Amino acid sequence: MLQTVNLTKNYGKLTAVNQLNLEVEAGELFGFLGPNGAGKTTTIKMMAGILTPTQGQVFLDGINVHRNPVQAKSLLAYVPDQPNLYEKLSPREFLSFIADIYRMDRTSVERQSSHWLEIFNLSDRADELMGGFSHGMKQKVSLIAALLHEPRVLFLDEPTVGLDPRSARMIKDLLRTLCEKGVTVFMSTHILEIAERMCDRVGIIQNGQLLALGSIEELRTRTNHGQSTDNSSPTLEDLFLELTGGDEYTEISQMLEE
């Protein structure tokens, strides 16, 4: 469903993403992990057709995202870590605007909007201007807007940031339900526990280079991790720190324990 071929993005002398090759299957929940500045958001924006690659290609269901942008974007939705909403609109007005862009049936949109607003506990705020909304509330509206046209590929950049525990749990359950229906979810997150519990596979990127790719068990095998001395399997956090050079974190922890 999602494929990148030698995907590269340069900003002057800086290579933000370098020769990235990925394949993500339909119905897969894929976690994209990496330290700050690793290239995660740049990659997602190229996949979603927001940034033009310096080199390489992105395909959604065989459609070249940058050569056939309208056709490709009809299949996808993108939710950034910082929601960009029109603050002088209400959630209901904003959803109506998004529906018009996708040329959706008005009756269907009104029904779906009411459904999602109720699920995300926003029904009583649906006609208020979004300028006074919290980050978490804006994130919910952004996600509802992404789901309206029933995308086949959903790109999420830090989807649980700013959400209360109930909403974060609801989104996790929602994403798994979407995947069971065949939707492909490509998600970046810094919360490694979420990635470990939710994702079918993860990719770890650093300095624009893909360091590791596979399921948690596959990563344990590739890093020569069996069980630790206390007979417990290493967590994704352990694997992540080892792969991305987490020696400084270990040293700091040891200093704090002294």
Q: What string of pLDDT tens digits covers the 258 residues of the chain?
A: 999 999 999 999 999 999 999 999 999 999 999 988 899 999 999 999 999 999 999 999 999 999 999 999 999 999 998 888 999 999 999 999 999 999 888 888 888 899 999 988 899 999 999 999 998 899 999 999 999 999 999 999 988 777 778 888 888 888 999 999 999 999 998 888 888 888 999 999 999 999 989 988 888 887 665 544 455 677 888 888 888 875 554 544 444 445
Q: Which two tokens stand for residue 164?
A: 């209360």
Q: Which of 31, 64, 29 is nearest to 49 (CA)?
A: 64
| Gap between the Cα atoms of 129 and 95, Å rounded | 13
Amino acid letter for position 212: A
CA distances (Å), origin 197, targets 67, 129, 139, 190, 191: 36, 36, 22, 13, 11
Burial degree of 98 (CB within 10 A; 0-12, 13-18, 19+): buried
Residue with tokens 């991305």: 244
The superfamily (CATH) of domain 2-75+151-257 is: P-loop containing nucleotide triphosphate hydrolases (3.40.50.300)
pTM confidence score: 0.86
Per domain, the residue ranges of the chain are 2-75+151-257
